[in-house]
């Protein structure tokens, strides 16, 4: 087959051979002709065959005499060029010339490959565009991320009342949050100190890092809450409805803490604070004095008006508590709005009983009323359980009771200073930001059931907020074993259930009621006797103290 192809090509009329004699270079020529013929057969077909090229003969035929010009015709040059390009471009190998379907199959495959390449090229372009877009977005996001200041730790700064926060809470909370938390706590001697710092004008230069204004969360007494809201020194806690600690909070707390912008109770108001401990007003008295003078124990508010206790009582200097004690003695509520209409005998009866109580009380002083009891100046002290209980445990022969007719309740609350309303360019204690992002975690931690342990163990006076619904809980015996027994009707720092039902939180009063309170208090002010009289009373109290100390020896 190869030889016939070679001979037929050499005998082609278009081949210019002047001599038919044997040529010594014929093998070489035959070899080159054979190779060219085979390549041509493989790539030739109906689509690529020029119309001027006749079919190759299958048998030898004598070529006609040469009548053509000596140079190759353009058709043959065109065929040779096409064959060379196809040979170099596609490297088609030799194949059988008898296959009639091959050229059509190659054409179809070429069209398929070409269409596939077009599709692939389109897909590659789209994917490249998508990748470029994604890369651009990632680069922009990375630039934004680099431009933001990220702290290595999450800070939480607390300013709280000294003695109100169990020491174990700080350690346990830091362990629960991991090493990323940086908790800083500062303590104040009284709630008034914290309130005064919060009221500091924000225009006075830089705010110190340890100031209450620079804190993320501070302690506020419940009696200060309405004033703090009205002055705008605290802000509402955001997102409380979605927090577990708020959903688990007692209904009593939710009603009491929901206020409007004036600090008044409002069912549609916002939550401005969260409780972490609470207690009640109590009466402490020296059992040794009562036993010596054969006096009946104190059980209720009415006992403060007994003649034998005249000048033997100290009481906190709080108009709400003093007038409230008179109202409870008369069977009324601490939160009476209209004294004239809601109290038997009206305002005159309240004024008369208030003046009688003032004669019974030796001093109205929120700072030294416990000290007066400890040194023996008075036999009875009326004040907050957070003050009285720790002092009573250090003294001997002292009993502490909650009056049977009920008493006022107090609470220490967490609140957020309203410094986040300032411009971000303003530096607040070394930070330029809003409240800490872990505030809700801190409140949640303080309200967990495990946090009640320091209260039931009486390490810290008061009770857990969750205990307001179940005041019958008692401290385990192993915790009280070996400790001095304090005579009291409190159960784990709380009033018993039958008395708690008559206790009340101090609610905000209207302006008219507050004005009425001022008038009542002004009517019992004792005239001043001057410095000499004050020194004389102080010397007499010291003399009595030393005499009692000598007799005890």
Q: Domain locations in the chain?
A: 149-277+413-451, 280-407+487-525
Instruction: Give the separation between CA 81 and CA 86, rounded to whole angstroms.
Output: 9
Number of Cβ within a 10 Å radius of residue 480: 16
Class of domain 280-407+487-525: alpha beta
Instruction: Give the separation between CA 225 and CA 123, rounded to whole angstroms.
Output: 67
pLDDT tens readout for residues 497-536: 999 999 999 999 988 898 888 889 887 765 444 434 444 4
pLDDT tens readout for residues 352-362: 999 999 999 99
Question: Given this chain, do its domains 149-277+413-451 and 280-407+487-525 carry the same CATH topology?
Answer: yes
pLDDT tens readout for residues 426-483: 455 444 456 788 899 999 999 999 999 999 888 899 999 999 886 555 555 554 555 5
Q: Which CATH architecture has domain 149-277+413-451?
A: 3-Layer(aba) Sandwich (3.40)
- 10-residue mean pLDDT profile of the chain (553 residues): values are 39 41 43 40 41 42 48 55 52 42 44 49 53 75 64 81 91 85 89 90 70 91 94 92 93 95 94 96 95 94 96 94 95 94 93 95 92 93 95 92 96 88 50 72 94 89 88 51 74 92 94 88 60 45 48 43
pTM: 0.66
Instruction: Give the separation between CA 179 and CA 59, rounded to whole angstroms.
Output: 98
DSSP symbols for 306-340: -GGGTT-EEE---HHHHHHHHHHHTT--TT-S-HH
* Residue 483 structure tokens: 């400790």
* Polymer length in residues for the chain: 553
Number of Cβ within a 10 Å radius of residue 364: 20
């Amino acid at each position: 087959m190869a030889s016939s192809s070679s001979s037929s090509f050499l005998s082609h009329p278009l081949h210019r051979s002047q001599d038919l004699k044997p040529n010594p270079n014929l093998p070489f020529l035959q070899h080159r002709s054979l190779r060219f013929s085979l390549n041509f057969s493989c790539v030739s077909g109906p689509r690529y065959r020029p119309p001027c090229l006749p079919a190759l003969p299958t048998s030898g035929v004598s070529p006609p005499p040469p009548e053509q010009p000596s140079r190759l015709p353009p058709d043959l040059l065109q065929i040779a060029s096409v064959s060379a390009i196809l040979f170099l471009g596609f490297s088609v190998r030799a194949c059988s010339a008898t296959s009639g379907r091959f050229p059509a199959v190659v054409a179809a495959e070429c069209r398929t490959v070409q269409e596939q390449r077009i599709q692939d090229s389109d897909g590659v372009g789209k994917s490249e565009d998508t990748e470029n877009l994604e890369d651009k977005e990632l680069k922009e996001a990375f630039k934004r991320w680099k431009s933001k200041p990220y702290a290595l730790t999450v800070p939480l700064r607390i300013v709280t009342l000294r003695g109100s926060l169990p020491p174990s809470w700080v350690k346990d909370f830091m362990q629960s949050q991991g090493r990323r938390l940086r908790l800083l706590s500062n303590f104040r001697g009284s709630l008034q100190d914290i309130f005064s710092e919060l009221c500091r004008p924000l225009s006075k230069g830089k705010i110190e890092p340890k100031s209450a204004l620079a804190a993320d969360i501070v302690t506020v007494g419940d009696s200060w809450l309405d004033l703090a809201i009205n002055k705008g020194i605290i802000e509402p806690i955001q997102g409380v409805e979605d927090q577990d600690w708020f959903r688990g909070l007692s209904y009593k707390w939710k009603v009491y803490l929901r206020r409007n912008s004036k600090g008044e109770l409002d069912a549609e108001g916002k939550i401005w604070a969260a409780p972490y401990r609470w207690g009640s007003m109590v009466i402490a008295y020296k059992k040794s004095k009562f036993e010596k003078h054969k006096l009946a124990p104190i059980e209720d508010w009415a006992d403060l008006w007994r003649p034998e206790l005249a000048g033997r009582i100290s009481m906190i200097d709080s108009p709400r508590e003093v007038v409230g004690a008179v109202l409870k003695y008369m069977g009324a509520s601490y939160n009476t709005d209209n004294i004239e209409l809601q109290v038997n005998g009206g305002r005159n009866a309240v004024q008369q009983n208030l003046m009688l109580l003032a004669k019974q009380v030796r001093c109205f002083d929120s700072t030294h009323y416990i000290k007066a009891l400890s040194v023996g100046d008075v036999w009875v002290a009326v004040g907050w359980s957070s003050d009285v209980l720790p002092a009573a445990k250090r003294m001997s022969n002292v009993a502490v009771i909650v009056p049977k007719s009920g008493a006022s309740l107090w609470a220490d609350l967490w609140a957020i200073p309203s410094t986040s309303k300032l411009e971000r360019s303003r530096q607040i204690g070394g930070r330029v930001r809003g409240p800490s992002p872990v505030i809700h975690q801190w409140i949640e931690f303080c309200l967990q059931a495990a946090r009640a342990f320091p209260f039931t163990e009486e390490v810290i006076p008061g009770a857990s907020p969750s205990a307001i619904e179940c005041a019958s809980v008692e401290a385990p015996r192993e915790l009280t074993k070996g400790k001095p027994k304090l005579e009291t009707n409190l159960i784990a720092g709380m009033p018993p259930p039958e008395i708690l039902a008559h206790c009340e939180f101090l609610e905000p009063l209207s302006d008219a009621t507050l004005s009425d309170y001022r008038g009542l208090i002004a009517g019992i002010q004792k005239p001043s006797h001057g410095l000499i009289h004050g020194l004389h009373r102080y010397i007499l109290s010291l003399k009595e103290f030393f005499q009692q100390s000598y007799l005890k020896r």
